[in-house]
Structure 1
Amino acid sequence: MGLDKPPNRPVKTADTIFGIVEFLLESGGSGVKEIAESQDLAQSTVHSHLATLLDHEYVVKEGTTYRLSLKFLDHGMEIRERLRLTRASQRIIEELSDDTGEVVWVVVEEHGQALYLLKSSGENAVQTRGRVGRRTTMHDIAAGKAILAHLPDSTVDDIIESFGLPERTEKTITEREALYQELKKIRDQGYATNDGETTEKVRAVASAVLFEGEVCGAVGIAGPKHRLTGKKFHDSIPSKILEAVDTIELNLEYW
């Protein structure tokens, strides 16, 4: 299993529309002139594509500014709710966040990146880099490493080739061989840790969720370094996550 390969003959019109959509997402909204300049297109071409997106309700026009509509939210929420992993884990991560007081994430792999699928915040939860729907590299977060540990080596190689191993902090794994050693350790102990590899003052613990012999995601807990210390970081939090994952995997069998 490797990363999905792009088609040999991409459709130019589709490329143009998705380029406009991505720019509107990054900019938060722009006028025709700015969009045309960013995409190296004629303003008349941009206007035609925007008219199509507007007609299908994928953009909203406010004066001379176009922005993406909440129709994308509707699609994303519907897709998420259809996933078996969502239904099997939602209640479990809520119980886990209540128990630990920290933020709990369910993360999945899509197109070689980690995607934050679900979040549940305990009473002491702190804000981290993650947000539901966000995509990020896999090698520097606990949940991403937990997933990588259960993917074929060929897929891991493809992911590294596509996204590299960028350094987030001084503790980030940036060498391929070091990553493979870490993944073996994760398989042996059953969970992954992140000791300041993404953000210096944040630690996390995560374990992969397996279904029918394949990894379908991971559950992770993140919190400030001063709270996730000693036995809590290396024993009690991993134990709670492993228990939660066992329940989720059981739910997947009957959902």
Structure 2
Amino acid sequence: MMVRRLSQSMGLDKPPKRSVKTADTIFGIIEYLLETGGTGVTEIAASQDLAESTVHSHLATLLNHEYVVKEGTTYRMSLKHLDHGIRTREELLLTQAGRPVIDELSNDTGEVAWVLVEEHGKAVYLLKSTGEKAVRTRGRIGKRTSMHDIAAGKAMLAHLPESTVEDIIGEFGLPERTENTITERDELYEELETVRERGYAVNRGETIRKVRAVASPIIWEDDVCGAVGVAGPKHRMSGDRFTETLPKKVLEAADTIELELEYR
């Protein structure tokens, strides 16, 4: 069993020149159902620029395969997707190696601890452990987000090939989340160089103004396969704790996960 490395190919997969139109339509419907939390045929047809009969046929197929449920005239996603997601996560070696480590990290720091991976140019929240003082953040298991504005994302970007980083920037840009977000390519590259030199990355309120984070890359067999970090409110993530104590703890956590991966 192998760790899922990034998006299998160390970055963005190149889309095929041709795709299957029916599959594109089905996934468009699925994405819309996820976005709305559930809706009817008429609304889906209008949003996807499809005939209602076409939408009804696709929904009937999804219903037959138990990927949606129907409540009156409303369709929504089924929990079958949850089964697939959990099974995929639990099969990853990184999940097995990382879970006990972030449990210890969150207990030790009192903050929320995460393990994230990169997939298709996005950071994906893989594991979470909540300390006794942890505050709620925008992260949630399975969420896919931009990489340039979070500590774990920058920790991984710093160890990807420059061509891959360029592909990611070209595809998603460097959108501004707060006034602290890095939005210039040269500034990001300077930040990534600093990450490589000191071994960890920080988020100085770049996603949410009053939330900071520290993260370290997880390197296995010379490839970055994820990142581990802690996040918390600005008033606790400051001073020596932010610049010395927490970086030391996430570096130790990353080392432990790497050793676990090696010996598993």
Bin of the TM-score, shorter chain as denominator length: over 0.9
Q: CA deviation at 1:129?
A: 1.1
For residues 217-236 of structure 1, what are the structure 2 equivalents within 5 Å? 217-236=226-245
Q: 1:5 aligns with which of 3, 14, 26?
A: 14
Match of 2:171 in 1: 162
What is the rounded CA distance, in whole Å, between the counterparts of 2:16 and 2:64 in structure 1? 28
Task: Give the gaps of 5 or more residues in structure 1.
Answer: none
Asked if residue 239 in structure 1 is aligned to residue 219 in structure 2, the reply is no
What is the rounded CA distance, in whole Å, between the counterparts of 2:213 and 2:113 in structure 1? 10
Match of 1:92 in 2: 101
What is the rounded CA distance, in whole Å, between the counterparts of 1:37 and 1:195 in structure 2? 41
Asked if residue 201 in structure 1 is aligned to residue 227 in structure 2, the reply is no
- 8 Å Cα contact 2:211-2:233 kept in structure 1: yes
Q: 2:66 aligns with which of 37, 57, 62?
A: 57
For residues 77-156 of structure 1, what are the structure 2 equivalents within 5 Å? 77-156=86-165
Match of 2:47 in 1: 38
Q: CA deviation at 1:7?
A: 1.1
**3-state SS, counterpart of residue 209 of structure 1:** strand
What is the rounded CA distance, in whole Å, between the counterparts of 2:30 and 2:65 in structure 1? 13
Give the root-mean-square deviation of aligned CA atoms: 0.7
- 8 Å Cα contact 1:2-1:154 kept in structure 2: no
Please give the TM-score of this superposition, normalised by the length of structure 2.
0.96
What is the rounded CA distance, in whole Å, between the counterparts of 2:49 and 2:149 in structure 1? 35
Please give the TM-score of this superposition, normalised by the length of structure 1.
0.99
What is the rounded CA distance, in whole Å, between the counterparts of 1:252 and 1:93 in structure 2? 14
Deviations 1:144-165 (A, max 9, x none): 0000000000000000000000
1:28 partner amino acid? G
Q: CA deviation at 1:3?
A: 1.4
How many aligned positions are there?
Answer: 255
Asked if residue 172 in structure 1 is aligned to residue 181 in structure 2, the reply is yes
1:157 partner amino acid? E
What is the rounded CA distance, in whole Å, between the counterparts of 1:140 and 1:9 in structure 2? 33
Task: Give the gaps of 5 or more residues in structure 2.
Answer: 1-9
Match of 1:48 in 2: 57
What is the rounded CA distance, in whole Å, between the counterparts of 1:20 and 1:200 in structure 2? 34
Q: 1:74 aligns with which of 83, 89, 93?
A: 83
What is the rounded CA distance, in whole Å, between the counterparts of 1:202 and 1:2 in structure 2? 27
For residues 17-36 of structure 1, what are the structure 2 equivalents within 5 Å? 17-36=26-45
Deviations 1:5-56 (A, max 9, x none): 1111100000000000000000100111111111111111111100000000
Q: 1:198 to 1:213 in 2, by over 3 A?
A: same
**3-state SS, counterpart of residue 171 of structure 1:** coil
**3-state SS, counterpart of residue 117 of structure 1:** strand
1:128 partner amino acid? T
Q: CA deviation at 1:2?
A: 4.6
- 8 Å Cα contact 2:117-2:125 kept in structure 1: yes
- 8 Å Cα contact 1:204-1:222 kept in structure 2: yes
What is the rounded CA distance, in whole Å, between the counterparts of 2:178 and 2:47 in structure 1? 32
1:151 partner amino acid? L
2:215 partner amino acid? A
* Runs of 4+ in structure 1 over 2 Å off: none
Query: Identity over the aligned pairs, expressed in percent?
Result: 72
1:177 partner amino acid? D
- 8 Å Cα contact 1:31-1:66 kept in structure 2: yes
Q: CA deviation at 1:64?
A: 0.6
**3-state SS, counterpart of residue 109 of structure 1:** strand
